[in-house]
Copies of this chain bind each other. A is one copy, B any other.
């Protein structure tokens, strides 16, 4: 889930300082200091080992971060949604490549500007904490889940508010949801630590079991959300 949505969703108010972080953030973003940039699918924002001079906020669209091994093996390490920050490095160089999956809009931020404001630093800290939690989840997925569980977890990840601890269950009669993947099978495979064939087979198996329908390749109609949720390994 994107950072902004989560901020809105859960009640961490007792941790909030008196100042309104989001207002500080909004003020900064509204100032003259930020440039915007629009991206088309497969546009690269920065490459692994480029000098890490700037950081970015994803305004709209989807971006993936990936790393490569010398022999060409690829691991997609993050899939970002709007509100997420990226390109903030500890070291001197970017540790991964940032590539747009869809049309996207980003804001170019200045590390120095952010560093000197308490409100902005708080925002950054929150965003990074949220990312750490999803990296932990992803480590569990990559290290311990079967192919089927990985694909099911991936699908659940695209459905806001479902599969969480306080999942409200099916909204109405039908437990359906349509999602757009905006990733090719190869990209999904590289995100889930699988091969393209295994991803394809898992999706076909879900189709066979009547849990999903493929509308048009990167668009899936989930016919039984709870059914998918059951095979994520987490229930």
Contact = CB atoms under 8 A, between A and B. Distances in A.
Interface string A15-36: 1010000000000000000000
A73 interface: yes
Contacts of A88: 125, 129, 132
A172 interface: no
Given A15-B111, A121-B118, A90 B133 contact: yes
Q: Which of A12, A67, A75, A117 has the most C-beta atoms of chain B within 10 angstroms of its own C-beta? A: A75
A69 B137 CA distance: 11
A224 interface: no
Nearest to A55: B129
Interface string A36-49: 00000000000000
A50 interface: no
Contacts of A10: 91-92
A159 interface: no
A209 interface: no
A95 B233 contact: no
Contact of A125 (B12, B112, B124, B145): B124
Contacts of A128: 125, 128-129, 132
A12 B143 contact: no
B144 A92 contact: no
A139 B130 contact: no
Interface in A134-162: 135-140, 142-145
A22 to B, nearest CB: 15
Interface of A: 6, 10-12, 15, 17, 65, 67, 69-71, 73-75, 77-78, 88-92, 95-96, 111-112, 115-118, 121-122, 124-126, 128-133, 135-140, 142-145, 190, 192-193, 233-235
